[in-house]
Amino acid sequence: MTALILASTSPYRRELLVRLHLPFDTVDPQVDETPLPGETPLQLATRLAAAKARAGGLGRPDAIVIGSDQVADLDGAALGKPGSHAVALAQVQRMRGKTLHFHTAVAVARGPELVADVATVTVRVRDVSDAAIERYLRLDQPYDCAGSAKVESLGIALLEAVESDDPTALIGLPLIRTCALLRHFGLDPLA
C-alpha cells in the first residue's frame, strides 16, 4: 500500500484525518508561514497548503502527502493563530458583530504532481460583550486556532451562523475535498 503522510503537527487535522480510516504518518513540514507582501488570505492559505504537501514528501517520492492551511479573513486582512491571551482577546474583539471567511486549503502531492482545493467557510460572529469574550478565552484557550475561534467547542457560542459546503473545513481539514484529492491519486477511503 502507498504511504500516506499528513504534513502537519496540528492535532485537529490529525483527528479529522483519522475519520477516513486510512493508515498515515505525520511529519512536521517546517514551512515558514509568514505572508508575502500583498498576499491575500486566500492566496496565503493556498500557498502554504501546497508548500506543506511538497515539504512533507521530501525524500519520499512515492508517498501521497496531504498539506493544509487555514487563514481567517476579516475585511481582507489575515488573522492567524494568536499564540497568546492578549492577541486572542484583540482578535475576538475585532471580529464581534462581523462576518469572516475562513479559507481552508488542502493540497495533495505525490512526487512532482500536486492537486489542491480550498473550502471557504463564512462565519457571522455575534456582538458579544468583553466579559463573554474573556470567559470564552479562559475556558477554551484557543491560542492555536486561526482567528481564536474553536467552533468544535465553546467557540460555537460566539457565532450567529456558519455557512459551508464542507463541514470539517472550519476545524482545519476539509474532508470532502481531501477525499476527492486522494481519489485523484487512486486512494479512496471506501475502496
Q: Nearest-CA neighbor of 24 among 13, 36, 38?
A: 13
Residue 142 makes CB contacts below 8 A (sequence gap 6+) with 82, 88, 148, 149, 150, 155
Residue 153 makes CB contacts below 8 A (sequence gap 6+) with 140
117 among known catalytic residues: no
Catalytic residue among 28, 62, 69, 165: 69
Q: Which three cell numbers stand for residue 59?
A: 525524500
Are the beta carbons of 151 and 100 closer than 8 angstroms?
no
Annotated catalytic sites, by residue?
69
